Amino acid sequence: MSGQDPQTGELVTERPDQRTDEPALFKVLLLNDDYTTMDFVVMILEEVFHKSPAEAFRIMMKVHHEGRGLCGLYPFEVAETKATTVHELARQYGFPLRASVEPE
Ligand code: TYC
């Protein structure tokens, strides 16, 4: 969209990606490691990311084979909170499981 700046009369052009009212979304990814148990990762996907048992198992196996996998897309603060929850639960249970947050 474009129009005139009310103060200067200059023509201004809005960037299309700044026009939306939707919040920017961020990916939360789980990363593979050799020590976290498969059952613990499935539990995290069910409890933190609200996945069904079948979907949790599918994502866990994808991470196990490919190194990383998408758990969900969230506004920044929700994504950061989920990653922190993963790290806190993993630490409590003695696992090195890591999650990362990336722009969509
Ligand atoms: N690679 C782990 C194992 O063989 C399982 C695992 C899957 C760990 C996904 C982390 O994000 C992960 N026990």
Confirm or reject: Cβ of 32 under 6 Å from ligand 1: yes
Q: Class of the 25-103 domain?
A: alpha beta
Q: How many CA atoms lie within 13 A of 76 on its CB side?
A: 4
Name the residue of 30, 35, 36 to mutate for ligand 1: max ligand atoms within 8 A of Cβ.
Answer: 36
Beta bridge partners of 54: none
| Helices and strands (DSSP H and E) totals, the chain | 3, 5
Confirm or reject: Cβ of 60 under 6 Å from ligand 1: yes
Measured at the CA of 29, the angle between CA 94 and CA 58, to 5 degrees, comes to 85
Low-confidence ranges of the chain (pLDDT < 50): 1-3, 5
Beta bridge partners of 11: 4
| Verdict on whether the full-model pTM lies above 0.85 | no
Q: What is the C-alpha to C-alpha distance for residues 88 and 86, in angstroms, rounded to an integer?
A: 6
